[in-house]
Structure 1
Amino acid sequence: MSTSEQTEIERKYDVDDEAVVPDLDGVADHPDLAGGAGPVHEVARVERSAPVHLRAVYHDTEDHLLLGSRITLRRRTGGHDEGWHLKLPASAPASASGSASSGQEMSSDAPATTGTDHSAAGATAGEPDGSTRGRREVHAPLGSEDEGVPAELLARVAEQLGDRSVAPVVVLETTRTATTLLDAEGAALAELADDVVTATVPGRDGAEPAVRRWREWEAELAPGVDGPSGDALLDAIEARLLAAGAAPSTSRSKLARGLGAESA
């Protein structure tokens, strides 16, 4: 089974049910905001996709050992990137077993991409929340549900797990409406995902499952858009999102919020 690896650079925002995604035409970074480094990115047009339904089953130990290490492991169906996803802190050493990615390729001697994520889930040890270099994301094919977690992904977290096993801990059902931000040549610069999420945590010992619901926006840079100019583009997008009623997310991740483990 082959795996691929890329860097995810995103910012998350909390929004209420009445919020409307703002017009993002003309959003651009500026050389002064980007420290005079890197290309200038400007949104020439946007494309909004039809809503899609995503179902993600997150796996962890019973006491959420992976979550405590800022690692998430899920099997997701629906959308363009369905499959197994393992998200790792950017500071974790890259494995030589990953194949070339269609996104931003990482190798054992490549520096992690710079970026910012308001979510503490992206923060690495010793860094303040909201100051990160993105997260490494490893993908594996979907396979059938009864095949279990791919061995290649479990090998990546063997040090954290030791002899512990993982099992489903929460199911997230997401209705996502994505807006792609394109430059004048039609190349993708970023994507804004408008997500309505329902999290279901199985009850223990016959208890009823816990259900939580919320809405959030995620602004994520496209592969190849990074560094100071990428940060400046996210800053420009953020200004419009905040004006539309969004607030920087206080959640570590969808997983932590779904589990009710924000203080973990």
Structure 2
Amino acid sequence: MEAKTTDFTISADNSSYPPSISGIQNGILAYAINQMDWFCNDSKTQLYATGKAAQLEFKAAYNENKPTGGHPQHVGGSGVVVKVPTRDSEGMIKSTRTQYQATKEETINKPAELISYRAHVQDIGWQEYVSDGEMSGTSGQSKRLEAINIRLSSVINGGVSYRTHIQDIGWQEYVSDDEMSGTSGQSKRLEAIQIKLTGQTAEKYDIYYRVHCQDFGWLGWAKNGEASGSEGYAKRLEAIEIRLVLKGHAAPGNTDNCFYKR
């Protein structure tokens, strides 16, 4: 900013995080930056940030006149993100008022959970809700999933619908927004699942999901209503992961072999 550059970018590649989280993190950073007052050489500067998947883009308009009053809050573009927010912790922007040699720290709220879900597991019952790509179910215990609840965060406009393929029953009708799909007290395994978004959420996000299937292991990621699991093999689902990914962004992993049918 001291060089009076009007268009510039800062790398903010959060590729170590799931795509559904990395893009949101940069959006939150951009929002926080846009709420601040910025100064260059003691003159207020109009700075607008846009969060992209791997970078922050900035546009700046400079005022050559000195301010007539008040105190600069950010001098010389000295605001620095010292901690990126994650799903589990808040972030931090640190800025320096060089006129007074004082440092100011401002909190960046951690990203909100986008989607939460829980499974009813053989011999265990209902597990706690997990979210955004975390595993629900068990690993290495040979326990069947018997039912599932799925819900979107209250900060998202839209809904989620889903149905399951059940032992001795086949495909159930779709349910939505935290309703139970599956059975309770019947000891019947889930064998496959389909999940799709509805409303405005479906215009902004793709929903990806994958299952751990008896004898097959983790299958590829299915999305937007595709079947995940197996049909005609009598194989139980043992675990599931679900994520929302912004439209146009890459899948969270391999999408091959997400469903087997015979």
Q: TM-score, normalised by structure 1?
A: 0.24
If each structure's strand is expressed as a fraction of its own residues, which one has the higher value?
Answer: 2
Q: Relative contact order, CA 8 A, sep 6+: which one is greater? A: 1
If each structure's helix is expressed as a fraction of its own residues, which one has the higher value?
Answer: 1
